[in-house]
Amino acid sequence: MEQPAITLSPSAAARVGAIAAKQGKPAILRLSVEGGGCSGFQYKFGLADAQQDDDCVAETDGVRLVVDTVSLDLVQGCVVDYVESLGGAAFKVENPMAAAGCGCGSSFSI
């Protein structure tokens, strides 16, 4: 069985759905990668109004995670999760391609 290009965990899907409902937007989370951050690249999350034609799309419980083709090269095989801990709650990317990360969890290098 082929591993999906990207995966949205059920907890992340539930959180995106709740945020989107509050803001009256579609339940579409866009993950992109930008240069910068403490380790070379950083993850950027935002609600999207629609998916683009060339987006890679994963769907969990009716919520879509979309990634553009350029960013997909850097997050292939990743799982986007939503975790709550004593330090707060946040979306977290479990990226098997990341060689190093940083303490903040939003930056990585390949």
Q: In order of start, what are the domains of the chain with their CATH numbers? A: 6-109 (2.60.300.12)
pLDDT at 1: 46
pLDDT at 89: 87
Q: What is the pTM of this model?
A: 0.85
pLDDT at 109: 58
Residue pair 108/102 in contact by the 8 Å Cβ criterion: yes
Mean pLDDT, the chain, integer: 86
Per DSSP (E only), the strands in the chain are 6-8, 28-35, 41-47, 56-60, 63-67, 78-85, 88-94, 100-101, 107-109
pLDDT, one tens digit per residue, over 61-105 is 999 999 999 999 889 999 999 998 888 888 888 888 776 665 555
The amino acid present at 20, given as its one-letter code, is: A
pLDDT, one tens digit per residue, over 17-73 is 999 999 999 999 999 988 876 667 888 999 999 999 999 999 999 999 999 999 998
